[in-house]
Amino acid sequence: MQYSKEVEEMVCVQRGPHHGPAPIPEEGKWVLAKEIKDISGLTHGIGWCAPQQGACKLTLNVKDGVIEEALVETIGCSGMTHSAAMAAEVLTGKTILEALNTDLVVLPKQAHGVETYTSTTDNTVVKYTA
């Protein structure tokens, strides 16, 4: 194969599949997070259950990979309001990986005209009555 003069003068910068983690901005500096404890900062995201039904905003304050503070704001959907109340309590104090693996289930039940929500989090059953 014939290469042009420019290609022959090029130098290989890196070879192999190892590229390392992408840098993320944390508190005014760029950090290469290789472990969960390397992650710190404030982040938030929004999710919704259906178009024009309701929305939920989750704000997390993370220090050394542990969720120090969890704030959940909801608009609309009553089922989401109950999930948000539990999420704010359950997520605080967990690592990011533990929070990802946390199950938050809300099952509405009608009993004598009163809605009862049974929720399971970490094998603990919590009941709310509305």
The CATH number of whichever domain residue 29 belongs to comes to: 3.90.1010.10
Residues of the chain short of pLDDT 50, as ranges, are 107-130
Average pLDDT, the chain: 76
Task: Output the pLDDT for position 4.
Answer: 93
Long-range contacts of 117-122 (CB under 8 A, 24+ apart): 117/79, 117/82, 119/82, 119/83, 119/86, 121/86, 121/90, 122/90
Task: Output the pLDDT for position 18.
Answer: 75
Residue 113, phi then psi, degrees to nearest 5: 80, 0
Please tell me the distance from the alpha carbon of residue 8 to that of residue 5, in angstroms, as a whole number. 5
Q: Within a domain: residue 87?
A: yes
Please tell me the distance from the alpha carbon of residue 122 to that of residue 86, in angstroms, as a whole number. 11
Please tell me the distance from the alpha carbon of residue 33 to that of residue 105, in angstroms, as a whole number. 31
Task: Output the pLDDT for position 121.
Answer: 47
Q: Within a domain: residue 124?
A: no
pLDDT in tens, 45-77: 887 777 777 788 888 899 999 999 988 888 877
| 0.75 exceeded by pTM | no
Q: Within a domain: residue 91?
A: yes
User: Could you list the residue range(s) of the whole structural domain that residue 91 is in?
Assistant: 21-102
Task: Output the pLDDT for position 108.
Answer: 47
Task: Output the pLDDT for position 78.
Answer: 72
Q: Within a domain: residue 47?
A: yes
Please tell me the distance from the alpha carbon of residue 38 to that of residue 20, in angstroms, as a whole number. 14
> Into how many domains does the chain fold?
1
Task: Output the pLDDT for position 105.
Answer: 56
Q: Within a domain: residue 48?
A: yes
